[in-house]
Structure 1
Amino acid sequence: MTHNYQVTGMTCSGCENKVKSSLLLLPEVTAVDVSKDTKSAKITMTNHIDLAVLQQALGNHYQISLPSGGASTEEKKSCCATHTHQKAPIIVHPAQAGKFYCPMHCEGDKVYDKAGSCPVCGMDLVQQPIINHSVEYTCPMHPEIITDKPGDCPICGMDLVRKETSISEENKSYKNLLGKMKISLLFTIPIFIIAMVGMFHPNPLNRIMDDEKWNWVQFILSIPVVFYTCWMFFVRAYKSIITWNLNMFTLIGIGAGVAFLFSVFGLLFPHLFPQEFESDHGSVHLYFEATTVILTLVLLGQLMEAKAHDKTSGAIKALLKLAPTEAIVVVNGIDQPISIHDIKKGDLLRVKPGDKIPVDGKINQGFSSVDESMITGEPIPADRKEGDNVIAGTINGTRSFVMQADKIGSETLLAQIVQMVEDASRSRAPIQKLADTIAKYFVPIVVVIAIITFFIWQQFGPEPRLIYGLINAVAVLIIACPCALGLATPMSVMVGVGKGAQVGVLIKNAEALEKMNKVDVLVIDKTGTITEGKPSLEKIVSFDNNEDDLLKKIASLNQQSEHPLAKAVVDFAKAKSVKLVSVNDFETIVGKGVVGTYEGSKISLGNQKLMEHIGAIVSASIAEKVIAEQQLGKTVSYIAIDEQIAGYITITDAIKETSKNAIAELLNQGIEVIMLTGDNENTAKTVAEELKLSSFKAGCLPEDKLKEIKKLQATGKIVAMAGDGINDAPALAQADVGIAMGTGTDVAIESAKITLVKGNLQSIVRAKKLSHHVMRNIKQNLFFAFFYNVLGIPIAAGVLYPVFGLLLSPMIAALAMSFSSVSVIGNALRLRTVKI
C-alpha cells in the first residue's frame, strides 16, 4: 500500500536524504519518494503505520502529517544559507542488508526477504551484501565448538579458527543452478543424440527399437528437464501472464510449452494429425529434443548470469573485505584481541605493521605511513602522526601505533562508502526510460509477430507448411530477449559506480553519473577546492602596536567558529601560547565574518562586507596596504573593535598541486571553469590568472553563488558545482551535478550528488572520464540489445529463406537468446578495466 504525507522542515537535499533514510529504517517501509519542493513524502509500506510511529522515526527536526497540513513562512527560508546541519550518518539499514532485489529494478527500491524471481520480469533476485556480517570461530578438531570470539578450544585446547557463518544466497543460487544444469545435460544429451541419429537413412537405432519406441524414450527422458530442472521457467511464465507483467519467460514458456505439448499430443494421438505432420518414417514429427535443448540452453544462460552478477557487485564485495574482523584493544597497557563488533567509541586500539585499521579514529600514540589507496585511489602512502585521522580498511605501514576509536559500525567512512555505492548501484539513470518504454510493448509485439509468422508460413510456405509455421513461430518466441534491454543500463551503472568507489569518486545516484557526461560548465569555490583548505595565519598587523593583545581577542572570538580561517587564527595563537578566554554574543555572519563581545567590547573579524555591515570605515591608507597583500594572492581579514578598525591579518592558503593540471585538462575538454569565491577581488584575480580560469567572481555570498548557477542554467548550460563549505550547500543543491570535496563539511557532502574522497580537482577529471565511459558502455549495450532483437526476430521468422534457403532452428535461437543477456553483462564488466 502507498500513502502520501506532508513533511515540513525540509529545506535542502540533505534534508530529503535524511527523511528518506530515517523512514526506510522502519521494517514495514519498502520505498520512499521525498520532495523538499512539494514538502511531500510518498511512502510504500507492507501494512499501515501509525502517524505517531512515522513521526518518531523522523525525530524532532521534521514534522509529518496528512496532506492537509500547511508550511509556515519560516520553513520556506533556506536553512543552508543561515545555519549548519548535523550530518545524518549514512546508515546500513538492517531491514535491507542481506535482502533481495531485482537486478533490473522493476519495482524500484522494493526488496524481498527470500530468494526467488522478480514478479515483473521473472529474473532471479539478487542479494544485497551483508555489510556488518558476523564472524564465528570453531575448533578444527571439534567443529561442534562455535563461539563469536577467538580463543582456545575447551576440549582440546587448540586455537579456534575463523568460520564463515553464512554463504551468500547468490552462491547458493549459482550452486543450485549448476546442479540443475548437470541434471539437464544428463537427460538432454541422450534426447539430442536420439533425434540427430534419427535423421540418418537408414536409422541405425532402428536395429534396437523402432521410431515409436524411441519417441517414448525421448518423452521419458524429457520429463525431469521439463518438470524439475526447468519447471521454474514455466512457473514464471504463468505468473507473468496472470499478472500481465509480460517478460522473457512469457516467451520461453509459450515457445517451449507449445513444442512440448505438441510432441506429447503427437505421441499419444498420432492419428489425429494430418499427413503433412508425419515424417518420412510415418510417425508425427516430435520436438522433445527442441524442447529440452531450448530449456537447457536458457538454464545455461541463467547460470552464466548468476556468475556474472557476482562479478558486477565485485566492487562492493571488495570494499566489504577491506574491513578486518578483529582488532587489538589496549586495556590498562595490555593488548587483548577483540571482535570488530565489540569496539566502543573511545577504545584505544593497537594497529601493528601491515594490519588493517579497524575503525575510524585518531592516532593517540606513535606515527606511521598508511596505504589509503583503496579508499582515496591515491597510490602513495600518507604519513600519519599523533592527532591525525585514520580510516577503517586502510593498511598500516611499517610502524606500530595506538589509535582512539571515534567512529564505529555504520558511522565509519568505509561503511558509508559501501552504502553509497549500494544505493547508487540500484538507482535508475534517465536513459533507462527508453528501454523501459520499449520493454513494456516488447513481449505483446513478439507474440503477434510469432502468430503472423505461423499464418504466413501456413498459407505460403513449402510443404509441410504447418511444420514450418510451427517451428518458425517457436523460434521467434525463443530468440526475442527483453532482458538484454532491461539489463543494459543497470549492469553498467553497477560496475561503473563500483569502479568510481575504488578511485575515490563516490556517486550518489545514476542520474548524476549520466548528467556528469553532459556537463559543459564547472563552477568551483576557492578555499578547500582549488586551495588546500588548510590556511595558515602569516602575520597580524595592529595599528596600536599591541599585536599579542589583538591576537588574544580574535583567537578567543574564533574558538567558537568551525571555519578554516578561524582554525588558522586559533592554531597561530596556540603556537604562541596565548591563553584564550570566553567570548559572549558570538555570531557568524555567513559570507562576511564573525562578531562577539570580549570584556565589554564588540570584536569583529571579517572581510570588507562585514566592515560595511557593522559601520566600520576603512581608510584609504589601510585599504592600500590590504590591496597590496591581496595582489600577492593572500586573504586579508579586517579587525574592528567597537566599529573602529584596529588592524588586519593576512592568511595564506596554498593552491593544491593537482589543481593546475586538473583545470588545464578540463579546459582542454571544452569545459568552462568558473570560480565563485567569497574572497576579495584582488586575491581571486591573482588565483584566476595563475590557473588561467575561464572567468571568476569574487565577494560571493551563498545566495550570489546560487544566482550565478541559476543564470548559467537559464542559458542552457549543464552546470557542475564543486565546493566544500557550508556556504556552498545551496549552490551544490541547485547545480545539475553537485560535487563535494570529501575533506569538506558534512552539509556540503549531503547536498552534493558526487563526493570526492580525496578532495582534489583531479578527481573531478576522473569523475568526468568515468561518466563518459559508463554512458558509452550503456549506449553500446542498448545498441546491441536493439540490434540483436531487430536482426534476430526477422531471421527467426524466416526472411532469409526465400533468397538463401536459410532457417533458424529454435535450438540455435535459444542459444542466441541465452547469450544475449550474458553479452550485455560481459560488456558492462569491461568497465572494471578502464583507466580513469
Structure 2
Amino acid sequence: MTHTYYIHGMSCDGCRTKVEKTLNSIEGIHAEVSLEPPQAIVHMQKHIPLEQLQSALSAVGKYTISTDSKAPHTDTHQHSHGHHHAAHTGHKHTATPQHGKGTYYCPMHCEGDKTYEKPGNCPVCGMNLEKMPELPTSAKYTCPMHPEIVQNGPGSCPICGMDLVPMQPSDNEENRTYLDLRKKMIVALIFTVPVFLIAMIEMIPNNPLLRIMDVQYWNWVQFGLSLPVVFYAGWLFFERAWQSIISRNLNMFTLIGLGTGVAFIFSIIALLFPNVFPDEFRTHHGSVTLYFEASTVILTLALLGQLMEARAHTQTSSAIKELLKLSPTEAIRIRNGADEKVSIHDIAVGDLLRIKPGDRIPVDGRISDGESSIDESMITGEPIPVDKKSGDAVSSGTINGNKSFVMRAEKVGSETLLAQIINMVNTASRSKAPIQKLADSIAGYFVPIVMIIAFVTFLIWAKWGPPPSLNYGLINAIAVLIIACPCALGLATPMSVMVGVGKGAQSGVLIKNAEALENMDKVNVLIVDKTGTITEGKPSVEKISVQQADENEVLAYIASLNQNSEHPLAQAVLNFAQARHLKWPQTKNFEAVMGKGVTGTVDGKQVALGNKALMESIKAQMNPEIEQAIVAEQKQGKTVSYIAIDGKLIGFVSITDAIKPDSKAAINALQAEGIEVIMLTGDNENTAATVAKELGLSAYKASCLPQDKLNEIKHLQAKGKIVAMAGDGINDAPALTQANIGIAMGTGTDVAIESARITLVKGDLQGIVRAKRLSHAVMKNIRQNLFFAFIYNILGIPVAAGLLYPFFGILLSPMIAALAMSFSSVSVIGNALRLRAIS
C-alpha cells in the first residue's frame, strides 16, 4: 500500500535527507521525500499508524507528518538548524538579498540552498561561507563635521568645505576573506621557514647549528617559533576540526586538525618528557624525533590551499558579478520639467527618465520620446545593437547608443529583467545536480574510512616496519590523514554548475537549476511550436477575402471579436482594421474555443473566426470555391482563418508570420548534435508541411490542440526518449510541464523566467543550440572533476600509507601530502574555470 503524507518543518536538503533516512529506518517502509512540495510518498508492506511515523521524526528534529497540506499551528518554523532560511521566515527566499543585508552560503552546498545571515564557516564541511552578490547601490556621503549633510556621490560640504566621506565603508566580503588569509599566510611563512630550516640542517653531518648551542635548545626554539603558526595562523583548522567533531560532520578539517594536532602534541610531550617514550620511538642517536616542522609546514601549506581557493572562488562567480555591474546606481529623473539625479532605489513606476548617449538603462520601461539604438548583448548575447523608437520596450542594464531619449519606468527594483536574471542565476548556481548525489553519498563515508586506514597504517608499520617502527607508523598515519581531501570531491559539481550557469546567463540562456542543466545534456528529441518559436511571432494580415459581403464590414465584425482575445493572430487582425481607421461594434456572448478560434454575436449576427475544426464544430455551410482559395494560401506557408457569419462560410483572412532568420541554421545544428526536431503546431496541414519542408524537418504534426502536444510528448517518453519542449510558456503550458526540459521562448521584459526550466531571453532556436552545447560542456567538466577527485584519493592514500616502500623504498612526507592536498581542490576549481572559454 502507498500513502502520501505532508512533512512540515523541512527547510533545506539536509532536512529532506534526514526525514527520508528516518522514515526508511522503520521496518516495512520505503519512503521517498521531496522538498518542493514537502511530501513523503510512503510504500508500506502493512499499515503503520501515523503516530509511529511522527514518533520517529520527533526523535530527530522538529518535523511534523500529517495528511493535511496545511502546516499545524505549532511553531514548526523554529528549526533545529538555527540559521536563516527562506522556510524559517515563511517567505519565499530570493537569491538577491534585500538592500543592506548580506546573505551567505556554502560553496559546496552541503545543505542545499540554505543561507546564513552572518559570515563564518559551514557547519557541515567547515569551508568559508561565501557572500551572495548584491545589486549595487548608490553610495551616500556625509560631512565628518556636519552629519546633517547627506548626498549621493562624493563632493565637498557646503557648510565647511571639507571633503565628504562615505557613510558606510565599502563591503567587499570576498576581498576581506582573502586579505585575512593572506595576512595569516605571511605570519605562517615568517615562522615556518626557520622551523623547517632548523629541522633540515639537523640532518646535515657536522650540524653547524650545534656549534652555537645544543640540540635540546634548538628544539625549544622550534617550539617557540611554531606557537604563532599553530595558535594564530593555523588555528582556524583546529576550530573547524573541533566543530566537525561535535556536530558529527567529519570533513577535510577533521583530518588536517587530527594529523597536525597529533604531531604537535606528540612533539611537546617528547620535548618535555622524553623518557616516557619506549625505545621504539628513538632514533639511532637515542633521541625522540620531534615533528614541529611537520605541523607548521602542513598548516602553512593547508593555509596556502585556503588562500588559493579564496582567490579562485572570486573567479567562479565572475559572470554574476559582471551582471551586477550592468545595473547603474543612479538615474536622471524628470520632475516638473527639470532633471534631477536620483538613486535607482528612488525610482517609481511611471517616472520619466532621461537616458543620455552611452548611459546604462536603469529600469525596465518604454521609450516615450525619442529613438536610439540599444546594445542588448549583455542580456540576449547578440552583439548587434537594436533600433528602438517611441513605444518600444527597453530593459535595465542595456546600453544606450549615440542618441538621447526619454523613457517611462514600468518595472523597478526586483521586478526588472536584470534583477530577475541575477536572482535566477544566483539560485541556479547554488542548486544541486543529480550527479552530485554520487559524490555526496561517498563523502558521507569518506572521512571515517580515511581515519580507519590511518589507524591501520600505524599498526602495520608499528608491527612490521623497520626501526624506529613507531616513528614510521606515526608519520605515515599522519600522511594518510593529510593527503585525503574530500573537499575536492565536494567542489567537483558546484564549481562547474556556478561557472556554467553564469556563462549561460551572459549568452541569454537562463537555466533554472542544476538538474535542468544535467537533463539538457541527455535530451535526444526537441519538440518545437511554430508561431513565436520557429517564426517571428509577429503575424500580420496579408489580405482579407470575402464573398457576397462588404469587406470592411466583415473586417469590423472580426475585429470586434478579436478585441476580446490575447492570441497573436487576433492582434494582427486588430492592427489591420486600425490601419483602415475602422470602428467596430461590441461583441456579445464571446467565447474562445481552445485550439480552434473565437465566436460571438456582433450586431445580432453569429460571427465565427478560426480554423476548419471550428467551422466543423459550428456546422458551418462550406463554400468549395473559398476552400480552394484557402488551400492555395496555405501551400504558400500562410496561416488562414475561416470567417463564418450566421453559420455560412463567407471568406477568410490570410496571415503571414515570417520564419526567424536563424531557425533553419539552428535546426540543422541541433540535428547534427543527434537531436530529432519535431514541429507540433495548431496550424493546418498545408501550412505546416510548407514550413517543415523549408526548414528540413524530418517530422511534424499539424492541427495539434494543447492536449495533442501533451500526448505526443508522453508517447515519446514511453519509448524512452528524453524530450525537450520549446514553446511560448502559455498555450503550451501542459506540454512544457510534461517534457523532461521545458524551454520558454521570450523577448525583452516579457520573458517568462519562471515558466520553464530554461528560458531563452532572445527567444530564438539558436539559444537552444547554446543551451545544449553548454550543458554538454558542463557535464563533461563535472565528470572530469569527479575523476580527478576520485583518482587522486585512490592513488594518493595508498602511497601515503607506504604501499611503495617495500618495492621502491619510497615514503611520502606529510609535508608533500599537505601540498598535494591543497592543490587538489584548486585543480578542481581551475578545471571548472575553463568553462568560461565556451563560445
Same fold, judged at TM 0.5 (above) = yes
Q: 1:600-679 to 2 correspondence within 5 Å?
A: 600-679=604-683
1:271-307: CA deviation from partner (whole Å, max 9, x where unpaired) = 1112342345543100001001101111111111111
* 2:393–2:748 CA contact under 8 A, matched in 1: no
Q: 1:218-617 to 2 correspondence within 5 Å?
A: 218-279=222-283, 281-617=285-621
* 1:724–1:743 CA contact under 8 A, matched in 2: no
Matched AA of 1:107: E
1:562 and 1:474, CA in 2 relative to 1: closer, same or farther beyond 3 A? same
Partner Cα distance (1:209, 1:235) in 2 = 36
1:213-260: CA deviation from partner (whole Å, max 9, x where unpaired) = 111111111112112221121121122122221111111111111101
* 2:95–2:426 CA contact under 8 A, matched in 1: no
Question: Match of 1:785?
Answer: 789
1:800 and 1:38, CA in 2 relative to 1: closer, same or farther beyond 3 A? closer
Q: Give the deviation of 1:412 after TM superposition.
A: 0.5
Question: Match of 2:715?
Answer: 711
Matched AA of 2:736: L
Partner Cα distance (1:328, 1:95) in 2 = 21
Partner Cα distance (1:66, 1:617) in 2 = 61
Partner Cα distance (1:401, 1:49) in 2 = 57
Q: Give the deviation of 1:505 after TM superposition.
A: 0.4
Partner Cα distance (2:351, 2:738) in 1 = 41
SS at match of 2:793: helix
Question: Match of 1:18?
Answer: none
Question: Match of 2:807?
Answer: 803
Partner Cα distance (1:595, 1:160) in 2 = 68
Which piece of structure 1 moves more, 455-464 or 673-682? 455-464
Which piece of structure 1 moves more, 588-597 or 665-674? 588-597
1:291 and 1:689, CA in 2 relative to 1: closer, same or farther beyond 3 A? same
Partner Cα distance (1:595, 1:459) in 2 = 93
Question: Match of 1:71?
Answer: none
1:428-473: CA deviation from partner (whole Å, max 9, x where unpaired) = 0010011111111111111111111111111111111111111001
SS at match of 2:652: strand
Q: Give the deviation of 1:645 after TM superposition.
A: 2.1
Q: 1:110-125 to 2 correspondence within 5 Å?
A: 110-125=114-129
Matched AA of 1:563: H
* 1:701–1:727 CA contact under 8 A, matched in 2: no
SS at match of 2:445: helix
Partner Cα distance (1:714, 1:766) in 2 = 27
1:798 and 1:39, CA in 2 relative to 1: closer, same or farther beyond 3 A? closer
1:185-236: CA deviation from partner (whole Å, max 9, x where unpaired) = 1211111111111111211111222111111111111112112221121121
Q: TM (normalized to structure 2)?
A: 0.88
1:240 and 1:378, CA in 2 relative to 1: closer, same or farther beyond 3 A? same
Question: Match of 2:35?
Answer: 33
Question: Match of 1:186?
Answer: 190
Matched AA of 1:662: A
Q: Give the deviation of 1:581 after TM superposition.
A: 4.1
* 1:724–1:749 CA contact under 8 A, matched in 2: no
Partner Cα distance (1:255, 1:38) in 2 = 42
* 1:658–1:760 CA contact under 8 A, matched in 2: yes
Question: Match of 1:829?
Answer: 833
Q: 1:62-211 to 2 correspondence within 5 Å?
A: 64=70, 92=96, 94=98, 98-131=102-135, 133=137, 135-138=139-142, 147=150, 149-150=152-153, 153-156=157-160, 165-211=169-215
Q: Give the deviation of 1:95 after TM superposition.
A: 9.8
Q: TM (normalized to structure 1)?
A: 0.88
Q: Mind listing any 5+ residue stretches in structure 1 that lack a counterpart?
A: 7-30, 51-61, 68-87
1:236 and 1:745, CA in 2 relative to 1: closer, same or farther beyond 3 A? closer
Partner Cα distance (1:178, 1:566) in 2 = 64
Matched AA of 2:690: T
SS at match of 1:540: strand
1:32 and 1:578, CA in 2 relative to 1: closer, same or farther beyond 3 A? farther
SS at match of 1:612: helix
Q: Give the deviation of 1:162 after TM superposition.
A: 7.4
* 2:301–2:819 CA contact under 8 A, matched in 1: yes
Matched AA of 1:33: L
Partner Cα distance (1:765, 1:597) in 2 = 46
1:650 and 1:745, CA in 2 relative to 1: closer, same or farther beyond 3 A? farther
Matched AA of 1:550: V
Q: Give the deviation of 1:618 after TM superposition.
A: 2.5
Question: Match of 1:763?
Answer: 767
* 2:8–2:38 CA contact under 8 A, matched in 1: no
1:69-99: CA deviation from partner (whole Å, max 9, x where unpaired) = xxxxxxxxxxxxxxxxxxx998845399621
1:4 aligns with 2:7: yes
Q: Give the deviation of 1:679 after TM superposition.
A: 0.6
Partner Cα distance (2:72, 2:121) in 1 = 35
* 2:608–2:644 CA contact under 8 A, matched in 1: yes
SS at match of 1:588: strand
Which piece of structure 1 moves more, 92-101 or 195-204? 92-101
Q: Give the deviation of 1:596 after TM superposition.
A: 2.6
Q: How many residues align?
A: 778
* 1:528–1:744 CA contact under 8 A, matched in 2: no
1:817 and 1:398, CA in 2 relative to 1: closer, same or farther beyond 3 A? same
SS at match of 2:573: helix
1:707-753: CA deviation from partner (whole Å, max 9, x where unpaired) = 00010000000101101152111111111111111239979653310
SS at match of 2:522: coil
1:451 and 1:160, CA in 2 relative to 1: closer, same or farther beyond 3 A? same
Question: Match of 1:80?
Answer: none
* 1:454–1:469 CA contact under 8 A, matched in 2: yes
* 1:724–1:745 CA contact under 8 A, matched in 2: no
Q: 1:687-698 to 2 correspondence within 5 Å?
A: 687-698=691-702
SS at match of 2:798: helix
| RMSD of aligned alpha carbons | 3.0
Matched AA of 1:405: A
Partner Cα distance (1:304, 1:373) in 2 = 32
Which of 794, 799, 802 is equivalent to 2:798?
Answer: 794
Q: Give the deviation of 1:686 after TM superposition.
A: 0.4
Which piece of structure 1 moves more, 570-579 or 379-388? 570-579
1:474 and 1:684, CA in 2 relative to 1: closer, same or farther beyond 3 A? same
1:357 and 1:95, CA in 2 relative to 1: closer, same or farther beyond 3 A? closer
Q: Give the deviation of 1:310 after TM superposition.
A: 1.0
1:118 and 1:292, CA in 2 relative to 1: closer, same or farther beyond 3 A? same
1:127-159: CA deviation from partner (whole Å, max 9, x where unpaired) = 1122364532356x9796873535763235589
Q: Which has the higher contact order (CA 8 A, sep 6+)?
A: 1
Partner Cα distance (2:161, 2:692) in 1 = 69
Q: 1:40-51 to 2 correspondence within 5 Å?
A: none
1:403 and 1:164, CA in 2 relative to 1: closer, same or farther beyond 3 A? farther
1:163 and 1:556, CA in 2 relative to 1: closer, same or farther beyond 3 A? farther
Matched AA of 1:787: I
SS at match of 1:305: helix
* 1:363–1:389 CA contact under 8 A, matched in 2: yes
Partner Cα distance (1:165, 1:654) in 2 = 54
